[in-house]
Structure 1
Amino acid sequence: MLYVMRTSWPLLLGMLLLMVGNGLQGSLLGVRGSAAGFSTTVMAVVMSAYFAGFLFASRMVPEMIRRVGHVRVFAALGSFISAALILFPAVQHPAAWVLGRLVLGFCFCGVYVTAESWLNNTATNETRGQTLSAYMIVQTLGIIAAQALLVVPDVSGFLLFVIPSVLVSISFAPILLSISPTPAFESTKRMTLRELYSVSPLGMVGIFLLGSVFAAQFGMAAVYATEAGMRLGQISIFVAAFYVGALIMQYPLGWISDRVDRRGLIMIVAALGAAGALVAVMAQSYWVIVGCAAVIGGCSNPLYSLLIAYTNDFLQSEDMAAASAGLLFINGVGAIAGPLVIGWVMQVMGPPGFFVLIATLLVALTAYAAYRMTQRPAPAVETTGAYAPVLPSASPVAMEVAQEYFIERSEEEEEE
């Protein structure tokens, strides 16, 4: 890990700054939307637009890079991010915010794809797993750090939008000054969603449900906290708790998953997350709610990696790239739907609807995992592949790194 940090620190630093900027804008809009008089339903549409842009970019940006190159795409999309962030406080209209979030989702995905391509190009077979771990840690720390900036005094109403704009702009420097030539994207064969479902029904259904859960955390947590009457400092701690839990639980659950039937672990972890959400619905204490948020984040985020690893257990190495594209698409569809549904539920039930929907999604995943355990035997533990830490916000390139790591570990185990 230290070797990866020493050789890739400019790229990791740039990604840290990007994640701070992205994490702050999501929470900030949730807080400012309420102050601007936007309803929960309107804010749900605003938050959902980000994931729609992200999904479009995951399919379009590779072609853009093939046509004009990494550097031009990176610089162009970064400029749009900075501009969009500045325009949010200047044009406080729902349609403008929806368009702005759509642009941000598209551009952030494109920037991630480009930066992760360079990061992947610096990794070797021996360091790929460590690179992936370092990148996941940097992503999570960036989002956590972003929440601390919510409490910065902002008398003019513009400062907190200027900060992420500046951070994104600064992030370009360490990345662009340290890059090496990156291999061109190569197209992979397609796997239809029907084929993916036949390979791993639990993987496909689970990834869809988790897309909605993650979108609720990343997009609607600050909206919930504002509607629940939390102060800025409390909102900051509450949103950060989801990612602190994810950071703490990612590796213990990954270690366990390499040694047991992953379906059973998926069922147990989803049930724990659902229990945390149900406790939060009934909780009256702020700190109990924060603890529940940490439990939910500590369960839901590692579940994404667990489901990918479980799906890979039933795939040939040459099919993994095609399958990952399908999983990304399904996750994106779930992420778009999540804020829309949770916004409607909160409009009907009030703030507790936030946790009610998360509990419902995780209960559904628990039940489906239990059902799938009755449909076919689990693969032998010694034949399953390695767990690779990936966040639900992964771009196609981060998924590619994870799949390469999975393939390499599988080949190493076959040779032993």
Structure 2
Amino acid sequence: MLHVLKNSWPLLLGMLLLMLGNGLQGSLLGVRGPQAGFSTGMMAIVMSGYFAGFLFASRMTPGMIRRVGHVRVFAALGSLVSAVLILFPAVVDPIAWTIGRVIIGFCFCGVYVTAESWLNDSATNETRGQTLSAYMIVQMAGVIAAQGLLLVPDSSGFLLFVIPSVLVSVAFAPILLSISPTPAFESTKPMTLRELYSHSPLGVVGMFLLGGVFAAQFGMAAVYAAEINMSLGKISFFIASFYIGALVLQYPLGWLSDRMDRRFLVFVGAATGAAAALVAMVFGSNYVVLVAAAFMIGGSANPLYSLLIAHANDQLEAADMASASAGMLFVNGLGAIAGPLVIGWVMGMVGPPGFFLLILVLLSLMAAYALFRMSQSEAIEDTGLYTALSPNATPVAVEVAQEYAIDVAEELEEEASNP
């Protein structure tokens, strides 16, 4: 691990600062929007803009890198993010905020692709797994720590928007000053969704449903908390609980998934998250219960992202994995775009409990479908290796994980054939 930190500390430090800024802006908009008089439906549209931008950038960024290079793309996208963050408090309008969220989603995805391609190029077969794990831990830690910044006093109404702008700007310094030339990122031709579904029905359906759950966590949790009049301190800890749960439970579920049928773990994780959402709906007036439910939803739902990718890879040849990853991310992005819109509509119909109601429905559907798939086919005996991935993973991060899993599997196969 020390070797990994020595070689990748500029990237890891930069990503930590970036996730601090990104985590703060998402929660901050969710709090400030209702204060500015935006309806729940308006906030749903604003929040869905991030995922629309993220989806477009995952397709366009590789071409941008090939044309002008990693450093220029990194600097250009970063400057746009910093500018948009400053404009949010200056132009308090739902249309302007939606456009800003689309731009931020596009830019952050582009930044992730650029940084992750550097990470993939600098890692070796011996360090790839550790590097990816450190990268994902830093991402999650940044989002968790960002919630604490919500408590910074802001009498002017501008300071909390200035902080993420500064963090994003400073984040590029260690990366741009330390980055070494990297090869152009080669995009892969994705499978058609029909082909991908034929290989892994649970992977495709689960990814779509999970996109809605992630959008609820990242985009609408702060809106829900503001709607029920939580104090700023309580909102901060409530949102952080989703990511703390993910950080704590990611590895144990991953360890289990390499030793048993992944579909069963998908069922257990989705059912656990659905049960936690039901408890939050029934006892929503109790803050401790809400925090515990958020911890369990985050801890059970976030690892499902990696589980579903690993399950899909179990059905594929090594040569098909990179192509399939783009399709899985595209499906997840579609669910993430639709998630806030549907949650906003449900909350408008039934009130704040609609936030947990939709999470309950989505995770229940996933659990039911996993159970159905288990009843349709025999358990898979040979499974690949699980690698933890963030819900914000880009095609580069997925391919890093896949390369690592393939390398380790080949090493294990060689050891087995040459005892």
Q: TM-score range by the shorter chain?
A: over 0.9
SS of the residue aligned with 2:376?
coil
Shift of 1:3: 2.2
Shift of 1:414: 2.0
Partner residue in 1 for 2:319: 318
Unaligned runs of 5+ in 1: none
Q: Does 1:59 align with 2:59?
A: yes
Whichever residue aligns with residue 402 of structure 1, its letter is A
Shift of 1:334: 0.4
Partner Cα distance (2:279, 2:316) in 1: 38
1:84-123 correspondence to structure 2 within 5 Å: 84-123=84-123
Q: Does 1:269 align with 2:269?
A: yes
Normalised TM-score (structure 2): 0.98
Partner residue in 2 for 1:187: 187
1:306-385 correspondence to structure 2 within 5 Å: 306-380=307-381, 383-385=382-384
Q: Does 1:234 align with 2:234?
A: yes
Shift of 1:322: 0.4
Whichever residue aligns with residue 298 of structure 1, its letter is G
Partner Cα distance (2:298, 2:2) in 1: 27
Render the CA deviation track for 1:28-75: whole Å, top value 9, x for unaligned. Answer: 000000110000000000000000000000001110110111111110
Normalised TM-score (structure 1): 0.98
Render the CA deviation track for 1:134-180: whole Å, top value 9, x for unaligned. Answer: 01100000000000000100011100000000000000011111111
Q: Does 1:81 align with 2:81?
A: yes
1:17-166 correspondence to structure 2 within 5 Å: 17-166=17-166
Partner Cα distance (1:199, 1:351) in 2: 38
Shift of 1:407: 1.3
Partner Cα distance (2:122, 2:262) in 1: 31
Shift of 1:189: 3.5
Whichever residue aligns with residue 48 of structure 2, its letter is S
Partner residue in 1 for 2:209: 209
Shift of 1:413: 2.4
Whichever residue aligns with residue 79 of structure 1, its letter is S
Partner Cα distance (1:124, 1:178) in 2: 19
Partner Cα distance (1:21, 1:57) in 2: 19
SS of the residue aligned with 1:374?
helix
Partner residue in 1 for 2:398: 399
State the aligned residue count. 414
- Verify the 8 A CA contact 2:117 2:185 in the aligned structure 1: no
Partner Cα distance (2:184, 2:123) in 1: 16
The range that moved more, 282-291 or 336-345, is: 282-291
- Verify the 8 A CA contact 1:385 1:409 in the aligned structure 2: no
- When the two chains are superposed, the root-mean-square deviation of aligned CA atoms in Å is 0.8
The range that moved more, 249-258 or 119-128, is: 119-128
Unaligned runs of 5+ in 2: none
Render the CA deviation track for 1:258-279: whole Å, top value 9, x for unaligned. Answer: 0001111110111001000100
Q: Percent identity?
A: 73
Partner residue in 2 for 1:251: 251
Shift of 1:212: 0.7
